[in-house]
Structure 1
Amino acid sequence: MRSAIGRGFTATVGTTLAGITLALLPGTAQADEPSWEDSRRIVEYSRYLSLKSHLGDIQAEETAQGFAALSSTQQVRFLDLLEDRSLMQRFFEENEAPPSVTGTTRVEMADGDVVVEHESLHGVDETSLSEEDKAAGKKDMWARYKVTDKIFGIEVAQVLVKTNYQVKGKDTLKVYPGSASHFLFMPACDFTHSPVKEWVTSPPGDNALTETVWSADCWGSEWDRRERVWADYRGFLGGYLKTD
């Protein structure tokens, strides 16, 4: 079911809105209070997050708590940014992680109110192998590439792809099933991804790769982005989010 947010809302907020905004009427709002229309937007977005939270979405609950902690002025600014179509498109613009570099890089937009974080990490799974495999020099590893979008430090969107694989020495022996996850708290958007694919590249690359294709429909505009991560015995080697 599609939902929407913004000045085109047709939902009636009635007594709920009155209770939250002290029964503001058009023309009666003071300088530090949101207008009737902005109060309605705040209520509707809070309801949207609350519904997701009640359905068990832990991240939606955290985002709702962060949004509720903002001042009314910041909440209006938050929604203005969230409804800025050109800005939202930049949330998922093409990006490639620096080769073999782990950690987090940040890109600031909208005078620093919006931050896009690109995170690259890897590690070793110490519990998955038998003692026999460990004695044979085998090692299970993982690497992931994640992009997170924040407004006023509050997470509103994220895409993540993770590869799981086994190495021995410098050789990648196999790739286990990979995974992809996301959250997106933009009511005007539908977001899905293709089945996750994984494989080992031919020598001398000998890398474990995992990828998925994200598909979005926001305000009637559709686009796809392929997200991929690759790694070897050293750990994370690269990742990107790009047009399919």
Structure 2
Amino acid sequence: MTIQSTALRTRDLHLSLSGHPVLRGIELSIRTGRWTSIVGPNGAGKSSLMKALAGLLPYSGKVFLSERDLTSVPHKQRAQHLSWLGQSEAASDDLSVWDVVMLGRIPHQDWLAAPSAQDHEVVETALRATQAWDWRARSLGQLSGGERQRVLLARALAVQAKVLLMDEPLANLDPPHQADWLEQVQCLTSQHTTVVSVLHEVGMALHADDMVVMQAGRVVHQGECADPATHRAVEAVFEHRIAIHKLEGQWVAIPKI
């Protein structure tokens, strides 16, 4: 039996915002080279957990990146190994699409060094993968919400990190581009990249390999998406307002009226 390594792990993770406990003793293990989706009702702590995993919010307890304490990993090295795409990511509207995506290469560049030929190649590949290549000369401010989201995804891909964290990456994406995103994630995991995503779309989240189910700042279940125990946990945290069934070979979440 092959023992799979761990890309991210937490131990007794606690986090408070404005004095209010948001995460309560999270114990989590994210397997390397797999897609893990995080689901739960509003206020469950999903986004806060993602920001803690990315080192963007102060916490107590431990976060381990490839079994190294995250706080001990130098910032540049952390930025090379851990890529982040958050909700409503800030970026200057005056920057060109090309320059926005090139920002993803900064962790790999020397101070004040010009982008290398490899940087240009990686940026082009990321823009083509997200179908944003045709806009490369346009400013970010000229794009629609969905187009902007695809450019920010390209920036995250350009990092070429082995762990990619995405908080609501499907925001503003229409169904065809959601399908493109799904294909991109599956391509990444086939190349042994670890993907962790928070998704409101439970049906899309069920396409992942593994699922973390959260409620009230705690992980109530972690398991494979195909496991009936995972389905029961998801249905329970959504107060049995949805039911998970298999339809044409895929797991789907159907609202219950």
Structures share fold, TM-score greater than 0.5: no
- Return the index of the structure with the highest Cα Rg: 1
**Higher helix fraction (1 or 2):** 2
Higher-RCO chain (CA-CA 8 Å, sequence separation at least 6): 2
**When you count strand as a share of all residues, which structure comes out higher?**
1
